Every structure is written in C-alpha cells, then in structure tokens.
Structure 1
Amino acid sequence: MFDSSNNHIQLDVKERNGSEWRLTGFYGYPERERRQESRNFIRSLASASTLPWCVLGDFNDLMHNDEKKGRHQHPQNLLDRFRNTIEDCSLIEVDLKGGDFTWEKSKGTTNWVQERLDRCFASSDWWSRFPLCTLTGFHAIVSDHEPIKLELNREDDDGVQMYFDAKDKLDDLLSHEEAYWKQRAKSFWLKDGDTNSKYFHAVASSRKKLNYLAGLKNEEGSSVTNHDDMCILLKNYFTKVFTEDGG
C-alpha cells in the first residue's frame, strides 16, 4: 500500500519472511492555529491500520519545555496537547543522537531559537521487531533543519532474540559486579593497597607528587635543592629543636 498527501507519505513494508509494517513520513502544519489539524491527522493515521507502525518527520510541535532554547517558552497547552496525542496513539519516541535540537532560526543573534521539531515515533509491536534501531541527527549547511536518519539494525527474529539474551546476561553480570564491589568496599584498601596494580600505582604516584619537596631554605635564606644537602639540613634542624627542648 502506498498513500500520500501534502502532509504525509506512507507505505507498507513487506519483509522476506512475509511480515509487514507501516512507515509514514509526516509533516505537521507550521501555523500554530492549524496544529490541531496535525494532531487529528496523526490520530487518524494511527487508527487506520493494525500493522506495526513507525512515523517520522517534521512534526512542527514540541512535547517538553527543554525541547526549545531561546526567546519565549513554548505554550504549555500546546505541549500538553501534542504529548497527549502521542500517548493516545500508544507511540514511543526513538531517542535522538547527535544533538538536542533539529531546527534553528536567527543563529548568532539575540533572537536565536532552537527547537526539536524533527523526530520519530513507533508502536510497541514495531519496537519489538527493531529494538536496536537508532535515530541520528546530522548538521546541514543549506537548511535550517537538521536531517535525521533512522537505522533499523539486525531486524531478523534470530538477531532480536540474540539481542535480548545478551542483554539479560549483561544485566545479570552487572548486578553481580555491583554486589561484589559493595562487599569488597570496606576491605579494598587494606588487602590490595600495596599491590602494584595500575590503579594503586596511579594513586601512589599522585600522593608522591603531593609530598615532593623541590627545595629547602637554610638559616641564611639560601635555597638547598640537592637531596643529600636537604637531608643534612633537616637532620641538623630537628637535632637542634629537640636539643633545645631537652635543655
């Protein structure tokens, strides 16, 4: 199936194993008074099919205040309405790598504005097929929008199962490691403090630098930097101090 309008391009992807999912490229109205039309259109697309669904593009809308930088804050009612639309459609956002914003205006001036308008959402059943998917933003020279790239990565059933198996093993290992170091925390320095590991060697070297004496001054005010001369100076000083105290 292929479908399109001024606000979207949509097609059904059929894989070699016979499974299908839907991909939609979306463009939301930039005019604030037409944002509700965009939200209604998203809802209609979500209800039009039961296929696993992925929708990405320029939504011209924000979900949270930290998705905008510069000038005035985005109206809270618009944030709430767009976020409610996404939640009502049971969509989950794909995290963006490469930056927090995808659009900017008046860069280098006091009116510089940055927003995250370009994004990607997917249904939970689509996520179960592509759990390793990534969304990356790239810098653009001739556009005020940064292009975004969606990569599916290892989407076959065997690969997905291998991913979840490996993830469970990693989580288990990390849990055991955390417990192990908690148990060893109290005796860590006592038992291993003198071993010549890279860590303890670095600690010892750091302390040695802090305790290093570059030179001393004798009673005449002259600097003494030779190691043997400094030892003699220290010996004479403390001998004199203890002798005077004893007297």
Structure 2
Amino acid sequence: MSKGEGVFKKGKPNGKRGRNDEGGDEGYISTPKRHHGNDEPVDGLGNDPAVASLRKLLNREEVDVAVLVETKLSGEEMRRVVGRLGDFKGVSGDSIGRKAGVAIIWRSGAEVRLISSSAHHVDVEVRGLFSEDTWRLTGFYGWADNEEKDLSWQLLRDLRGLSTLPWLIIGDFNQILYDHEKKGGVPRAQGDMDKFRFTLDDCGLVDISYSGETFTWWNKRSEPNDIFERLDRGVASLDWLEKFPGLTLCHLERDRSDHRPLKLTRVTRGKMKRKKQYRFEDCWVSSDKCEGVIEEAWGGGVGEGNEEEVVAKIGACARALDEWSKKEFGDITRKLGEAKKRVAFLDSCRPSESVVTERREVSEQIDKLLGLEEIYWRQRSRVAFMKDGDRNTKFFHMKASTRKRQIE
C-alpha cells in the first residue's frame, strides 16, 4: 500500500494534514464551501482557486482516493476539473443546477469500479486502499430541505441492496442523530432524528468513532444567532469496522469554510482519550436497593427550594449512586471471568452435594451477570429494537464501541 493512502470528502480544500504517529495511512474528508451572506461567494468546485487548492492538497498529501461532495457541477464540468488535477480518474453524479453533486476521484494504483451514482451519491467498489481486499465506498450528500429528507433515507435503503461488500459511507447527511449534536437555533424534531437512526439500523450501519469538536458545521453567524451541528460523518457496516478496526475520524479545525474537514486516519487507543461521561445505568433498577439510595441522597443534607438546590440534589444522588454501584455491581466483566473459572473448577471436582449446590449458585450468578452485561451494552449502543432476552452482546458491544467522543 502506497504512502499516504486515504479517503477524503472535499468541495474546496480545507485544513492541514500530516503523517500520523504510527506511520499509518491517512486521508481527509470535508465539505465544500457553503457561505452565508453577501461578503463571500457561494462556491463548490466551479472556480479556479478551488481547483488549484484541491490539486495542491492532493499532490502534497499523496491522497489516493477522494470523495467530493456538493460539487455543484455537471458530469461534463466535473470531468474537466478532474483533468486539471493531474494523475486522477473519476466518476460523478450530475448536480441539479448548482445544487448537490457528488464525485469520487482516484489515482493510479487504487482500483475503483462504479456501482451507481446520482446527484446525491456515488457508490463504488474499491481495491488496494487500506487492504488488498475489495470493499465498498459511498460518497453521500443528503437532501437539505426538511420536506425532502425522507428521500435521503430511501436512497440509503435502496443502496443497501446493491452490494454485500464491507461498506463505508462518508458525506454530509444534512441531519443529526442526537440532540447534543446541535447547539443553537430551533431544536431538531425527535421524529426526524429517529428516522435517520432507524435507517442506519435497517441498513446495518454504525456511526464511526471520531475525535475533536463535536460540531462539523457552523452557520457563520455571531451570538445569539449562531448555530452549530454535526452534519458530516462516516457510517459503516459492522464487517467494515471489524476489517479496519484502527480507523477513525478526526474533526479538524475549519478555515474560512462553514464545515470542518474530517480526516480518516489510523489511531491507537491511546489517542482516543476522553472524559468519562456520567450515566444513570439501566442495570441499577434491577436492584431493590436503588430506590433507597436515591431517597437517602435526595434528603441527605440538601434542602428544597430553588433551581440551584434541585441541581445540588441531583448531584448528590449521582455521587451516591456511583459509589453504591461500585460496591453493588463492580466490574461485571471481571466478575463474569471469575465466576466462569469457578464453574470450570467445580466441574473438575467430584459431584458431591455441596459441589452441585455451589455450581448451581454460581451458574445463577453468571446468568445475572450476563443480563447486566447485556443491559450495559444495550444502553450504550442506543439500539432499542432488540427484545429483552436476546444475548447478542457482540452486536451491542460493536455498536457502543464505535460511539467515541459523541458526548463529552
């Protein structure tokens, strides 16, 4: 695999790029300029400075495959742009006037075969990038108007059936998944966010982990009219994530663009340090002691009255529950391991009455711990459609483990 292989989404080059500490492969993904106001032009790739800047970045960083989103160019115009980029080939979906438009370009050495394309997507098979095996890459641009967003979700569902290869989608989805992915302005409707999540679940796609600031788009306005959202992301199938476990997205600093560039790169676990997020654990309610802990903490020296006192009560409950949880539940994984070792030891013993009784008790303990483990990963995976009793913990674990730095 050649130096600097990567994937990036770009309308106009943004950000800086350097080799990672492990010497692994990197790439960029970013959105085009979409300025608001009369002081700056609205531009995709339809001007000389944008093309020159993109060409300079591609050559300097030796990027082998790039996804260009919201190009605002027809297929013929995009072919002329690719011809000015040097040693690149490309496929594209025509824009609708000066709206939308998606393209994927690649250097010699990466093998790319077109599956399908439109103004809102380009879908290809890729070989020789990150792996010698063939996998699937889709550049995606979601419909911006609220009344048309269902077209985005229908397109994703339609694309799902076109290939069974490990699948990566990167792009501007023009929608968020969770409330915390927007700051300022009118809150997104819960039903609209649910549609996005349900579509990803139906397609077997998982939000890729990321580092850096949460918000990828800013409306370029000052307070109190500023709005920030995470519109740009990568999603992938579980088999793609298992195939490329070291790849993650980094949200880089924006320049004059309203979107942050996103970099797909290899990182070690040490690079993914983040603050621990407090949660009320669903498994706590399985204990009849939980209610008593809350009642005691709520009345434990914290008065009633104004908003500050209520916040103080909540904080007291959180601290009490955290301490109680450590004693009551502890490390579930460690306890499961110890219990299974005990069962293995008991199985090697003569089956006396005491051994059989203890084994039954330990087996019941294992069942309880497995239930708690499933609740733990289900809560973190945000998967609501699995029924109680299903023990598909690997699925929950994969879903949860890819949700890095989404809530700080």
TM-score with structure 2 setting the length: 0.37
Deviations 1:83-109 (A, max 9, x none): 100111111111221111000114322
Pick one of 246, 255, 259 that aligns with 1:145.
259
Alpha-carbon distance change, 153 to 112 in structure 1, aligned in 2, over 3 angstroms = closer
Of residues 109, 117, 133, the one that matches 1:4 is: 117
1:45 aligns with 2:163: no
Specify which structure has the bigger relative contact order, considering alpha-carbon pairs within 8 angstroms and separated by 6 or more residues. Answer: 2
Report deviation, 1:137. Answer: 1.0
> Of 238, 242, 245, which aligns to 1:124?
238
Do the aligned residues in 2 keep the contact of 1:56 with 1:121 (CA within 8 Å)? yes
Name the counterpart of 2:107.
Answer: none
- Residue 13, structure 1, aligned to residue 126, structure 2: yes
Give the structure with the larger helix fraction.
Answer: 1
Indicate if the aligned counterparts of 2:166 and 2:237 stay in contact, CA closer than 8 A: yes
The residue aligned with 1:133 is: 247
Query: Residues 153, 52 of structure 1: CA spacing in aligned structure 2 closer, same or farther, 3 A cutoff?
Result: farther
How far 1:13 moved relative to its partner? 1.2
Is structure 2 residue 192 aligned with structure 1 residue 78? Answer: yes
Residues 7/97 of structure 1: CA separation in 2 closer, same or farther (3 Å cut): same
The CA distance in 1 between the partners of 2:145 and 2:210, in whole Å, is 25
CA distance in 1, matches of 2:217, 2:267: 26
Amino acid at match of 2:258: D
Q: Is the 8 A contact 1:130 1:153 kept in 2?
A: no
Shift of 1:153: 6.5
**Residue identity opposite 2:123 in structure 1:** Q
Q: Per-residue displacement from partner, 1:19-52 (whole Å, max 9, x unpaired)?
A: 2100111100111111000110011111211000
8 Å Cα contact 2:220-2:258 kept in structure 1: no
1:33 is aligned, of 126, 147, 161, to 147
The residue aligned with 1:94 is 208
Counterpart secondary structure, 2:119 = coil
Q: How does 1:97-116 map to 2 (within 5 A)?
A: 97-116=211-230
Residues 54 and 123 in structure 1, CA contact (< 8 A), matched pair in contact too: yes
Q: One-letter code of the match for 2:118?
A: S
Specify the alignment match of 2:136 in structure 1: 22
Identity rate, percent: 39
**Over alpha carbons, which structure has the higher Rg?**
1
Report the Cα distance in structure 2 between the residues aligned to 1:37 and 1:5, rounded to whole angstroms: 12
Task: Note closer, same or farther for the CA distance 1:18–1:104 as it changes in structure 2 (3 Å cut).
Answer: closer
Q: Which position in structure 1 is the counterpart of 2:35?
A: none
Q: Which amino acid aligns with 2:259?
A: H
Distance in 2 separating the partners of 1:21 and 1:153 = 21
Look up the equivalent residue of 1:85 and give its one-letter code: T
Cα offset for 1:152? 4.9
Amino acid at match of 2:251: G
Q: Secondary structure at the match of 1:82?
A: helix
Aligned partners of 1:44 and 1:130: how far apart in 2? 25
Kept in 2: contact 1:105–1:113 (CA 8 A): yes
Residue type at the aligned position of 1:36: D
| In structure 2, distance between residues paired with 1:131 and 1:118 | 21
- For the residue of structure 2 that corresponds to 1:61, the secondary structure is coil
- The alpha-carbon distance between structure 1 residues 127 and 113, as it changes in their structure 2 partners (threshold 3 A), is same
Cα 1:102–1:175 change in 2 (3 A) is same
For 1:4, the aligned partner's letter is S
Q: CA RMSD in A?
A: 2.3
Q: Secondary structure at the match of 1:34?
A: helix
Q: CA deviation at 1:73?
A: 0.9
| C-alpha deviation, 1:175, in angstroms | 6.0
SS in 1 for 2:157: helix
Distance apart, 1:8 and its partner CA: 1.4
Look up the equivalent residue of 2:121 and give its one-letter code: H
CA separation of 1:140/1:106 partners in 2, compared to 1, >3 Å: closer, same or farther? closer
Indicate the residue corresponding to 1:210 in structure 2: none
- Tell me by how many angstroms 1:129 deviates: 0.7
Aligned counterpart, 2:96: none
- CA distance in 2: counterparts of 1:125 and 1:110, whole angstroms: 43
